[in-house]
Amino acid sequence: GAVVSQHPSWVICKSGTSVKIECRSLDFQATTMFWYRQFPKQSLMLMATSNEGSKATYEQGVEKDKFLINHASLTLSTLTVTSAHPEDSSFYICSARDVGMAENTIYFGEGSWLTVV
């Protein structure tokens, strides 16, 4: 199946610094990518929808200035957590929609663990 790659898989950063997470669709073009946050033993919470060449659409309650999303190409979206704080520690997962598939199937990356100390 289609592959979505996330990097880094895990990162530890100091409070107050910024961290960038990359999401790449490896074998298909993705005009739309999605960023999720998942807390332990909970479901995925959609943070924002990333559209290639335009501004991301953020879900209610998600701070757009804190979670910067850039979708510069058809295969790459990035999430930057700015001025990170311990409460931002979480599992961040991206997904990408393969518009080449009849079902417009959405594939997920492996996730990125962020720990802010």
Strand partners of residue 34: 49, 95
- Which are the contacts of 7, defined by CB distance < 8 A and separation ≥ 6? 21, 22, 24, 112
How far is residue 72 from each of residues 10, 15, 19, 57, 101, measured CA to CA in Å?
Answer: 23, 27, 18, 15, 22
Residue in 11, 13, 44, 74 binding another protein, rule: CB under 8 A: 44
**Does residue 89 touch another protein according to CB under 8 A?**
no
First to last CA, the chain: 36
Of the candidate spans 14-22, 60-68, 73-81, 101-109, the one that interacts with another protein by CB under 8 A turns out to be 101-109
**Does residue 108 touch another protein according to CB under 8 A?**
yes
**Does residue 25 touch another protein according to CB under 8 A?**
no
Tokens 């999430």 found at: 79
How many CB atoms are closer than 10 A to CB 30? 29
Of 14 and 103, nearer to another protein (C-beta) is 103
Of 1 and 53, nearer to another protein (C-beta) is 1
Residue in 93, 96, 114, 116 binding another protein, rule: CB under 8 A: 93
Binding site for another protein (CB under 8 A): 1, 4, 6, 32, 34, 41-44, 46, 49, 51, 57, 91, 93, 95, 97, 103-111, 113
